[in-house]
Structure 1
Amino acid sequence: MAKSDKQFVSISIIGLPGSGKTTFLAALWALVNERRVAKVLSFDSIGENDHSYLRKIVTVWRKATEQARTKLTGLSAVRMNLKDGKGNVVEIAMPDAPGEDFRAMWEDRELGRALGDSLANGNILLLLNGNKVKMPAWVTERAAQRRATGTQKTASLPKDWHPRAAPTQVQLVDLLQLISHAPVGHTGRRIVVMISAWDKVEGEKLTPDAFLVAKLPLLAQYLEAGRDGWTSRVYGVSAQGGEYDGNDVNAEPVEGGAPKKTRNSRDADRLREVDIPANRIRLIFGEQESNDLTEPLQWLMQ
């Protein structure tokens, strides 16, 4: 490809509410614009695209402050022109939809035309919060807990079931199946599974692949079986590098009204002291660690 040529690549970032999509985009924007940090793809230009949303979220990210909930009217696409080491330019278009839109696909079986069109082509970056995985309630485990505590099973009135009560892996597998078949999408695409909040779960001493197998076995088996033709990679990511201000809802003020220094606020102070904010990013692939969020994007572009 000639240096002046430009490719167009569509990568859809999907995930349930709280999966970290906004934080990922903010960290990515900070990284590609940071010349002092090595990466496989760097910023080339923004073209005629409006990047006010990116400027807003990266400002919050640099301050180590919790991002506000994504509130979009209609589907918005984050676009940026990136280039590799040879000067080849690719325009990345990442439709940015709130997690509630993806939850509605599972709970209400509803999908807007604009979001459906954006999911029909291109490859997928699936974000899931490793610290908020809703596990199945196994009958054998409940029985073992009762035996261990000496409690008896008590009769209770049945509760109305809501789709939101389903385990995380069930919701995500259904979501991937929906975008793998007509009229929404097609089979045979690449997908990056990005386990966010990796700093919260790395204490279990598992690689991202092993974490997926251990905590979301249904999702891991679905991807491995290849029924819908997914070619997958699994990463762990801490796009913010630690706890931000605003994450601790139980923080209480000290005498005089000054905010009490919690572990979260102390961690946020540490993050703000990092000379190059992009160095706060941690990306884990197998046993390797870097801060290059563009590496998964390059793999998805192939």
Structure 2
Amino acid sequence: MDANFVVMGLPESGKTTFLAALWHLIEAGDTDCHLALDGYKGNLTYLNKIAEAWRTFQNVPRTPYGEEVDVSIGLRNQITGERGTAFFPDVAGEVFDRQVIDRRCRSDFVDAVSADDGVLFFITANTHEDFLSLAELNARLGIAAGVAPINVGGAAPVTNNGGEEELGANPAVHGRDWRREDIPRQVKIVQILSDLQRSPFAQRRRRVAIIVSAWDLARSMNMTPRAWLASHMPLVDQYLRTNSIAFEHEIYGVSAQGVDLRNAAAVDEAAKLPQSSRRIQIVGSEGEGHDLTLPLVWLMSAKE
């Protein structure tokens, strides 16, 4: 039986770079991997464009929000013969961001998720935004150092030097108001996952392969991807572990680019590799390697 997978993740979580490297890997066939190309639907020009950027060590261009480039890639397991389709819906991650903020999503996306057999969910290892200090948060909101915090319900009103009550923050002093866009990344991730278990989505147990992208940023921590998630995304980790009835999950650390493009020396070394696909780094429960298709192999191995 063919399996279908939906790719999800917030903006800048690594989906497009993963797609570029995956397309190169299964099309070029320059290194061993479990899955082979078994057809596709979507914009071939777009796929070739991002794969060429990946091959030539350029930043893979992100998809502008609102430009629909849905891509479906058919895959075949070269050992077992199992088949599957990975659906990258509107690769721009803003579609998932807006789902949390506006509580809306496209009907065709609902249909795709309702028919899926698993989810490939991307989380970036570049998580600095979720760990801002109070000083950094105040700076982000435009609040000057030493300024009294914004008055909240129940507290005595703040008075100005003339003795008049200021019922609320002065934006010129306190900065802008908090917005829904400021929701921490891991809160958004939990919201997206929890949405899958309520209407309009079909409610059932799903397999979720968590992809921690930009894994090269986490390598020096000497942690497994599972330990990294528990340490840096504790809310996501706890949600997945306490909702095992709804989700069976596996976690992979992935560096699809394989090198920091700002490091000229590292790029030069990577360019000397006999196969471009050897740049790819993936860490999972099976160990380390270069086969970017392993998470999809795990999703396809679900027992009926």
Q: Is the 8 A contact 1:242 1:271 kept in 2?
A: yes
Q: Is the 8 A contact 1:75 1:115 kept in 2?
A: no
Residue 265 of structure 1 corresponds to 264
Q: Is the 8 A contact 1:178 1:185 kept in 2?
A: no
Equivalent residue letter for 1:28: L
2:147 equivalent to 1:130? no
Deviation readout 1:111-162 (Å, 9 max, x if unpaired): 11122222223110111110135325688xx8xxxxxxxxx96414455111
Distance 2:244 2:42 in 1: 37
Residue 117 of structure 1 corresponds to 111
Residue 63 of structure 1 corresponds to 56
Q: Is the 8 A contact 1:62 1:272 kept in 2?
A: no
Larger Rg: 2
Residue 153 of structure 2 corresponds to none
In the TM superposition, residue 163 of structure 1 has moved relative to its aligned partner by: 1.8
Deviation readout 1:44-82 (Å, 9 max, x if unpaired): x42676533222211111001001121363361222242
Equivalent residue letter for 1:101: V
In structure 2, runs of 5+ residues without a counterpart are 136-144, 151-168, 170-175
2:178 equivalent to 1:161? yes
3-state secondary structure, aligned to 1:135: helix
Residue 246 of structure 2 corresponds to 229
- TM-score, normalised to structure 1's length? 0.80
Q: Is the 8 A contact 2:5 2:84 kept in 1?
A: no
Identity %: 30
Q: How does 1:37-76 map to 2 (within 5 A)?
A: 37-43=31-37, 45-46=38-39, 51-71=44-64, 73-74=67-68, 76=70
Distance 1:227 1:65, change over 3 A: same
Which is further off, 20-29 or 66-75?
66-75
Residue 35 of structure 1 corresponds to 29
3-state secondary structure, aligned to 2:31: coil
Q: Is the 8 A contact 2:20 2:60 kept in 1?
A: no
Distance 2:106 2:34 in 1: 34
In structure 1, runs of 5+ residues without a counterpart are 1-6, 143-151, 245-262
Distance 1:26 1:117 in 2: 25
- TM-score, normalised to structure 2's length? 0.79
Distance 1:34 1:61 in 2: 13
Which is further off, 216-225 or 268-277?
268-277
Residue 197 of structure 1 corresponds to 214
